[in-house]
Amino acid sequence: MTLRTVWIKVLASVSVSMLAWGAVPADAQFGMLGDLAKRAGVSMPSLRKEPITTSLPDARWGDPSQDGFVPREPKRNLAELQRTPNGGFVLQPGYYSFHDQSYCLHAGTHGPGNGDGYLYAPPLGAAKDAVITIVRNSVQHPEIDQHTIQALLWAILSRAKLEDMSNEHRAAAAQLLTPRQLAGLNRGVLDMLSSGPIADNLPAEVRAVLRAEADLRQMLTTPGTSYSELERVAVLAGMAPVGAGSRDVPTGRWSHHPDGYWVRYLPSSYTNTVVEIWVPADAPGAGKEFDPATHIAVPGNTARQRLIQSGRAYRAS
């Protein structure tokens, strides 16, 4: 038995008692496992290095006092406002709506449904700049299909090497990302986290996400994989359970954005969301930029997908 094998068994046994996901803080859990993995000669990503870490605790701006509130101002199309170089909008006082293209940022979970509400949170994580850049720059490249953009985002989430993807995906990535960002997006995940002795001791919902990411890594770099095949792995079918740490968030709950306006998200599916914005006449949000690429709609049910918004209008095909 090699030293590496011994340490892998140690990692598995330690994970039984340590990875209870609550008994020890998440960063500490992965930090201790990472130290053991280092001795074994294998790499172990920490939560601090997750591509996107935005989760329900980061959605701190939900405003229950506004539940059921409908602004008195007539609803206007957000697209009437002045656009910004980021693909955003310069806000003015009023009540606005925009039906946008949205994107899944939590593969291996369920899409919107069953009246679950969504809250505002900013993009966080090691790959947040690349994710924001892709979504922002997509506004200037309407010729790039939404499915192609979503596949790039799934590649980042699953840490697939972009250089191993199809010519179409590589070409799109070159248009949407900077050369430095392209060079930095290399796979750094440990496959034994998604299968094997360590994975066997993780909670079922964590295993499902890790398994989906592992499957996406393989599929995204396998020639001939269709988008529908990717979607079946990334977007779970059937009734969504209530995820650990979920909150009761009703549909249409407003979030009070720190820039001084109210926003809410009404997704039809992971691919498209109606975003509503209310800027009172005396609100500091007047004149501020609404940049959809910096908005992640986080579900109250943690078993559902977090959805990043975009400045591209959704048009049903």
Per-position DSSP letters for 63-110, written without gaps between them: -GGGTT---SSPEEEGGGSPB-TTS-EE--SEEEEEEEE-EE-STTEE
Q: Are residues 303 and 288 in the same domain?
A: yes
Q: Are residues 45 and 60 in the same domain?
A: no
* Tens-place pLDDT, residues 136-188: 999 999 999 999 999 999 999 998 888 889 999 999 999 999 998 888 775 44
* Type of residue numbered 131: V
The enclosing H or E element of 147 equals helix 146-158
Q: Are residues 120 and 154 in the same domain?
A: yes
CA diameter of the chain? 72
Q: Are residues 93 and 67 in the same domain?
A: yes
Is 252 contained in some domain? yes
Is 168 contained in some domain? yes
CA distances from 103 to 207, 228, 295, 309 (A): 22, 15, 11, 7
- Beta strand 109-110 with 235-236 is parallel
- Beta strand 94-101 with 75-77 is parallel
Is 313 contained in some domain? no
Is 166 contained in some domain? yes
Is 317 contained in some domain? no
Can you tell me the distance from the alpha carbon of 297 to that of 277, in angstroms, rounded to the nearest whole number?
Answer: 13
Q: Are residues 200 and 134 in the same domain?
A: yes
Is 260 contained in some domain? yes
What is the separation, in whole angstroms, between the first and last Cα of the chain? 57
| Cβ(298)–Cβ(273) below 8 Å | no
Q: Look at the chain and report how many structural domains it folds into.
A: 2
Q: Are residues 158 and 233 in the same domain?
A: yes
Q: Are residues 7 and 130 in the same domain?
A: no
Q: Are residues 21 and 83 in the same domain?
A: no
State residue 201's pLDDT score. 55
Is 127 contained in some domain? yes
CA distances from 191 to 59, 75, 84, 143, 217 (A): 30, 49, 41, 35, 10
State residue 199's pLDDT score. 47
Closest CA to 269 of 118, 159, 52, 57: 118
CA distances from 184 to 160, 179, 187 (A): 12, 9, 9
Q: Are residues 23 and 144 in the same domain?
A: no
Q: Are residues 45 and 68 in the same domain?
A: no
| Cβ(247)–Cβ(300) below 8 Å | yes
Show the domain range for 156: 56-308
Is 315 contained in some domain? no
| Cβ(149)–Cβ(103) below 8 Å | yes
Instruction: Identify the DSSP state of 314.
Output: P
- Give me the half-sphere count of Cα atoms (radius 13 Å) on the Cβ side of residue 258: 8
Q: Provide the residue-wise pLDDT of the chain in tens; the chain has 317 residues.
A: 433 333 344 344 434 333 333 333 343 444 434 444 444 444 444 444 789 999 999 999 999 999 999 999 999 999 999 999 999 999 999 999 999 999 999 999 999 988 899 999 999 999 999 999 999 999 999 999 999 999 999 999 998 888 889 999 999 999 999 998 888 775 443 343 444 444 455 566 677 778 888 889 899 989 999 999 999 999 998 899 999 999 999 999 999 999 999 999 999 999 999 999 999 999 999 999 999 999 999 999 999 999 999 999 998 76
Q: Are residues 8 and 78 in the same domain?
A: no
Q: Are residues 167 and 66 in the same domain?
A: yes
